């Protein structure tokens, strides 16, 4: 059994064949999928997909690229949405310094506010980090999620940061989510992280429709392909792929809730 801990099944690229996409995932033994929101406007669609399919759950939050023009009550809206029975986490939140879609100070303020909200609601976080390692780690350390009393603060999704960033995140109790790029030939530094980090901190995800693994590179990604990512990392670590799949599923259950993952 596998869990795709991060996929965007609410996006338009799945509008024509979502039923088939879900069925292919289930046939590949991907029995749970988590969809994180990226903006306020998209949250109702995320929740609608989660309500429609028994295998799908949701996270609610505002992606850093969507933080530039938030309404005054944006955080209150997320708090309300987070009470939905299929919402497992606050996400996708974080920092993105690659795209110039929101000032850094605005991104950081929104990130900090959502970390505080996650702490108050006792929900894990799904964190986006693109070319912002230093500030992501700094703000995580300053947040209440870094307290020792918080056992499961969240996951750095689609991890592509440095070795030191991985070490810092794991030391704070965070998980690392690995996507298709770990399978790309030139990403040896990322493979080192996937190979050497503690097994109980690893998750697998697709970030579909983006970042397809090597065999599907250049095509639309989908949750069924998380099995290729899992098998690749299992081989890196010298583990049986089925055992590795079950281990990462157990990690997902520890982070997002056993009732949801194993139901």
**pLDDT tens string 51-77:** 999 999 999 999 999 999 999 999 999
Q: How many domains does the chain have?
A: 1
User: Above 90 in pLDDT, residue 263?
Assistant: no
Look-up: residue for tokens 């990512």? Answer: 229
State the angle between helix axes of 226-237 and 188-196 in degrees (0 to 180), rounded to the nearest 10: 70
What is residue 83's predicted lDDT score, i.e. its pLDDT?
A: 98
Cα distances (Å, whole numbers) of residue 85 to 1, 56, 89, 259: 23, 12, 11, 12
Q: Find the domain containing 148 and state its range.
A: 2-262
Query: Which pLDDT band, with edges at 50, 70 and 90, does 242 fall under?
Result: very high
User: Above 90 in pLDDT, residue 47?
Assistant: yes
For the chain, what is the total number of helices (H) and then of strands (E)? 10, 8
Give the span between the Cα atoms of 243 and 58, in whole angstroms: 26
User: Above 90 in pLDDT, residue 225?
Assistant: yes
User: Would you say 206 and 4 are in contact if contact means Cβ atoms under 8 Å apart?
Assistant: yes
CATH number at residue 205: 3.20.20.140
User: Above 90 in pLDDT, residue 149?
Assistant: no
User: Above 90 in pLDDT, residue 2?
Assistant: yes
- Total-model pTM: 0.97
What is residue 100's predicted lDDT score, i.e. its pLDDT?
A: 86
> What is the enclosing helix (H) or strand (E) of 30?
strand 30-36
**What pLDDT, in 10s, does the model give residues 78-136?**
999 999 999 999 999 999 999 989 999 999 999 999 999 999 999 999 999 999 999 99
Nearest CA to 257 out of 57, 78, 80, 94 is that of: 57
Query: Which pLDDT band, with edges at 50, 70 and 90, does 147 fall under?
Result: confident
């Amino acid at each position: 059994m596998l869990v795709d801990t991060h996929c965007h099944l609410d996006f338009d690229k799945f509008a024509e064949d979502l039923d088939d996409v879900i069925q292919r995932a289930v046939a590949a033994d991907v029995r749970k999928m988590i969809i994180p929101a990226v903006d306020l406007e998209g949250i109702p669609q995320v929740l609608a997909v989660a309500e429609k399919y028994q295998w799908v759950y949701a996270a609610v939050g505002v992606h850093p690229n969507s933080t530039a023009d938030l309404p005054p009550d944006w955080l209150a809206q997320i708090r309300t949405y987070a009470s939905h029975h299929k919402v497992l986490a606050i996400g996708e939140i974080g920092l993105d310094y690659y795209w110039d879609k929101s000032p850094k100070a605005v991104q950081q303020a929104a990130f900090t506010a959502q970390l505080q909200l996650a702490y108050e609601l006792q929900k894990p976080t799904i964190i986006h980090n693109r070319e912002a390692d230093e500030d992501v780690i700094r703000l995580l350390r300053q947040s209440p999620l870094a307290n020792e009393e918080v056992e499961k603060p969240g996951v750095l999704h689609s991890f592509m940061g440095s070795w030191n960033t991985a070490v810092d995140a794991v030391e704070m109790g965070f998980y690392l989510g690995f996507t298709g790029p770990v399978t790309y030939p030139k990403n040896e530094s990322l493979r080192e992280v996937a190979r050497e980090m503690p097994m109980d901190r690893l998750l697998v995800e697709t970030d579909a429709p983006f970042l397809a693994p090597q065999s599907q590179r250049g095509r639309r990604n989908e949750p069924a392909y998380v099995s290729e990512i899992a098998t690749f990392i299992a081989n890196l670590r010298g583990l049986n792929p089925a055992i590795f799949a079950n281990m990462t599923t157990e990690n997902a259950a520890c982070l997002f809730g056993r009732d949801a993952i194993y139901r």
